[in-house]
A and B are shown apart, each in its own frame.
Chain A
Amino acid sequence: MRPRHTLILIVGVNSETVTDVTSTDFPGHWPGEDHAWDISKFASTFKVKVYKNEHEETSFSLIGIDASVANAYRRILIAEIPSLAIERVYIYNNTSIIQDEVLAARLGLIPLKGGEKGLKEFLKWYRKTKEGEEPDIATDYNTIRLHLKVECTRNENAAPGERDPLKLYHNAHVYAKDLEFVPFGQQAKHFSGEDAIMSTNPDILIAKLRPGQILDIEMDAIKGQGSDHAKFSPVAPASYRLLPTITITKPILGKDAEKFARCFPKGVIGFETVTKKEAATKGSGYEGHEGEKKAVVLDAMKDTVSRECLRHAEFEGKVKLGRIRDHFIFSIESVGQWGSGELFLESVKMLRQKCEGLLSNLRDMPN
């Protein structure tokens, strides 16, 4: 590795190795550089850029933040923000070919949605109890009851010779939309009409039945967090990647330029024509190539950093790939209970709350 004297923000991506991976922005690391934590400096350098902001999906960049903090937000999104999922399944009758325990596991994974205000403010946590402890009491403000009662019957009106089970029988397929919400107590006030508890994706197939087979199931859905079980995770998924950089250090011209562009996803590399001025500049590498195509970087963000261009001898020493260490492109997809942008804010809030709680713990600590 080359000796370095200042902080470098670009992680080098070579054909077989990576360089400058770890953050070194700490006091005392680089001679003459400060790097002490300074909130006003952070506030002036930190930037957020939003690319997409929809209920189900959001995409944005956090620029000027450390990986440890960006990763904390990502981990909170996946494992700590609560959401509602089916936790207990009471099977009164199941004569389908799918086993009780498999069916129960499938039901648990169905994403649910409902009135946002009700889910966040009215619905409380069902207290987790340790082994041997009396379980918490299920009430209208901590448990959502769902029913599934389906019987498959023959369709007498089916055309003779019909082979499609969906036409031949009634209820041959059981879907998530067949889950029926049974409001108790005050639940009707918070979860009715549009706000009723139902699956986010009504067409999730739960089971297939044949005439005479019955499903009669009651389910309890509670609030939980992804660290307990992935079914409680409100995102699918939340991830980030570092912004790629592509630097063309020596001209890539003509047929090579076309080949170079094919090494990247569409839209990453474009073409320009070598100008007269460039061709006249000595030492530019363009001498005598006026009017030829040259490769230029259009949009490095679209790159997947496949390193394909590093496999070809003709580009050797002409291109440098890298990623910007403090530019995180987040992509958060909500499963439907939360708005995706709101989810990120919630993760920031939860990290703050964690610190707040532990700070008071620290102050209460016996010395």
Chain B
Amino acid sequence: MAPKNSKKAAEAAPPAPESDVEMDYGSPSNEVLIDENSPQELAKKEQRIRVLPGSSATAASFEFKDEDHTLGNALRYIIMKNPEVEFCGYSIPHPSEPLMNIRIQTYEGTTASEALEKGFKDLMDLCDVVADKFVEAQIEFAEENPTEV
């Protein structure tokens, strides 16, 4: 982009919306304003999960777009904690493709997608506990170590 143009564009910009929609993410930290162009919001606009061919109710591989070890390993752990799950593993088939696969095999009585759903929920619960305890510990620390003003 030409620098002059961008300058002009900046000056002619419409004023930013004064009040954006607020959303509560359920975690104890500050509320967040939605930014449509943020990677998180852009990601919400598309379907990022696909079931790979060859799946059955109790055994399926899910392909996640734009996810990596960050979510893959954490999700694998929490799904393995489910006693209904016979097997769970994740892989990144190729480092230059932004894809992550999760394989879930369950015992009779539940399905692979139910196990995945429970995994998401459990991981969310875990995050809530971590956030709560962290804030608690920070407050406690601040009380024990008052900073000199």
Contacts and interface: CB of A to CB of B under 8 A. Distances in A.
Interface stretch (A35-43, A105-113, A307-315): A35-43
A78 to B, nearest CB: 10
Interface string B1-42: 101001101110111100010000111110011011111101
Contacts of B140: 50
A46 B11 contact: no
Interface stretch (A154-162, A168-176, A288-296, A351-359): A351-359
B129 A344 contact: no
A28 interface: yes
B59 interface: no
B125 to A, nearest CB: 5
Contacts of A62: 130
A135 interface: yes
B77 A342 contact: no
A140 B16 contact: yes
The size class of the interface chain A forms with chain B is 35 or more
B127 A351 contact: yes
Interface in B32-74: 32-33, 35-40, 42-44, 47-49, 51, 64, 67-71, 73-74
Given A36-B81, A37-B78, A186-B16, A341 B25 contact: no
A356 B16 contact: no
B93 to A, nearest CB: 18
For chain B, the bracket of interface size reads: 35 or more
6 smallest beta-carbon distances between A and B, as pairs: A139-B13, A37-B81, A50-B141, A48-B137, A125-B37, A27-B83
29 contacts: A37-B81, A39-B126, A42-B129, A46-B133, A50-B138, A68-B74, A69-B77, A69-B78, A72-B73, A75-B70, A76-B70, A122-B16, A124-B36, A128-B39, A140-B10, A140-B16, A141-B16, A184-B13, A186-B15, A348-B131, A349-B131, A351-B70, A351-B123, A352-B25, A352-B127, A352-B131, A354-B71, A358-B67, A362-B116
Interface of B: 1, 3, 6-7, 9-11, 13-16, 20, 25-29, 32-33, 35-40, 42-44, 47-49, 51, 64, 67-71, 73-78, 80-83, 113, 116-117, 120-131, 133-138, 140-142, 145
